Chains A and B, each alone.
Chain A
Amino acid sequence: MKDYSKLLKRVSNAYYNLGLERAQLSDLTGASELLKRSLRFNKYQTDARNLLGLIYYEMGEVADALVQWIISLNLDPEQNRADHYLNEVQRKPGILAKEAAVTRKFNQALHQAQHGAEDLALIALNQIVRDKPNFIKARLLLALLYLEDGQNTRAGRSLMKVLDTDRNNPLALILMDEVKKRTGRAEVEKNRMKNAFSHRRMEDDDVILPREKKEATAGQTVLHLIIGVAMGLALFVMLILPAQRRSYNIAANNRIAENSRELNELNARYSELSEQYESLSAVYDDAAQRLSAFEEENAAFTSMYRELSSIAGAYGSGDVVTAATQYLQIDRATASEEPLSSMLAEIDRYMLNEGFQTLVSLGTDAWNGGELSQAESLYDLALSINSEDPEAMYLKARLLQSQDRITEANAIFDVIIGEHPESPYAERAMNARGY
């Protein structure tokens, strides 16, 4: 087993060395393939895993790099360079958030490109490569979209950037060939190569004869000067003017692009502010509703407090009739919470005892004074507070009987006899009823 283990380590190291060599030659794709093979033979080859992470980082795939460094640190926690790389990435403020945002944007652009929205994808990818120039995958996709759109020069520029970072990127090489074919560059390069290797080897006997030099006459000199000036003018018109015009166009395009970007930023800012406004509106509406509810609740509280205070005041000043009338009108549900509930309980206690008795006594006094109608009202008021009191019922029945309202009186006597048979007023009611 030990022999196998040694052998596997050796193979793994060999692949790592090859990968390192490729990485030093800027062949990142080739290097990553070799490093993956190295790890297939020995997953504990820490250098290979760390270098693989570095290559991913260099190609703009930060999350993949972090995966490799985290695995590396887990497999080999002692004096591991991956610890330093992870610290470096985490030390820079906001770098992870920025990388996450760029990756998300790329994935969205890829989705757009794969679902028929190539124009939107182009705009997004341009922004991505501006923010993250080494993002190989984004540059390749951008080049593909440019090629599809027939913008060969831009595609070529994007591919050049890819090949600067990853010299042998297979897709970049294929696409670059296509760019060269389309622009005629392939033919030019082919001819140049043919010329470079087509020179006949000179023999020892070959002689190079110098060309004969003729003296020019004065007329010829003037003619040459005129031709030179004409050629200079022609060159100026043909080469420099178009170049200047092109540079003006480029500057104008850049300005348009800049304005477009500013417009996009302003739109984004506007959307953000709109969202903030909506969110604040919701908060405001909620607060307004709460305030309104609180005001309503507070108004109900104040009103009930006044009513209870008024009852207590009337009772305290001896006006039991007013106190009882107000007491019967209060809305008990509004006084369910403290301190109103305590106030109401206190008033209940007074009204059901002393208040009630006072009303009955006042009724009897009125009856004795010949105020029969007032006496009935006072008995009614007392019975509204406590409808089960046999004494008040009896007195009212007797009052009615004295006014020859026999049916009404008998009905009350029957209630006393039927519902309060233990009461001393039951026997009196029976006598009054004539049983």
Chain B
Amino acid sequence: MINFKDEIARFKPSLEVGDIEQAIAKSDLTDMGDIMLQLIKEAAYTSSDMMASGVSNINERLQ
């Protein structure tokens, strides 16, 4: 059974021509490529940190 009030309430106003600039500014253009790049960068930073801490541990032991 359709609940008409709910269905009508679900309708969203249409974008008005005057609000186009705002809509473009709010658009989320992030794609999977951007996400992948971010993940790779994070992974690279983590591994360089780990390398640095490993080198410092070895130096401590040698001393």
Contact = CB atoms under 8 A, between A and B. Distances in A.
Interface string A151-166: 0000000000000000
A67 B24 contact: yes
B16 A104 contact: yes
A63 B15 contact: yes
Contact of A42 (B14, B16, B33, B40): B33
Interface residues of B, number: 26
B17 A62 contact: yes
B8 A63 contact: no
Interface stretch (A141-149, A278-286, A320-328, A419-427): A141-149
A103 interface: yes
State the main secondary structure of chain A at its contact with B.
helix
Contacts of B34: 43
A24 interface: no
A70 B17 CA distance: 13
A39 B34 CA distance: 12
Interface in A47-69: 61-64, 66-67
Contacts of A75: 29
Interface in A164-191: 171, 174-175, 178
B37 interface: yes
A75 B27 CA distance: 13
B16 A8 contact: no
A110 B11 CA distance: 8
B14 A107 contact: yes
Given A1-B40, A8-B36, A61-B14, A70 B8 contact: no
Contacts of B23: 63-64, 67
A252 to B, nearest CB: 30
Contacts of A106: 13-14
B37 A1 contact: yes
Contacts of A41: 31-33
A304 interface: no
Given A61-B15, A67-B23, A137-B11, A40 B31 contact: yes
A294 to B, nearest CB: 43
Interface of A: 1, 4-5, 8, 11, 39-43, 61-64, 66-67, 70-71, 75, 96, 99-100, 103-104, 106-107, 110-111, 113-114, 137, 140-141, 144-145, 147-148, 171, 174-175, 178
Given A43-B30, A100-B17, 8 more contacts: A4-B33, A64-B14, A64-B23, A66-B17, A66-B20, A67-B23, A70-B20, A113-B8
Interface of B: 2, 4, 7-9, 11, 13-20, 23-24, 27, 29-34, 36-37, 40
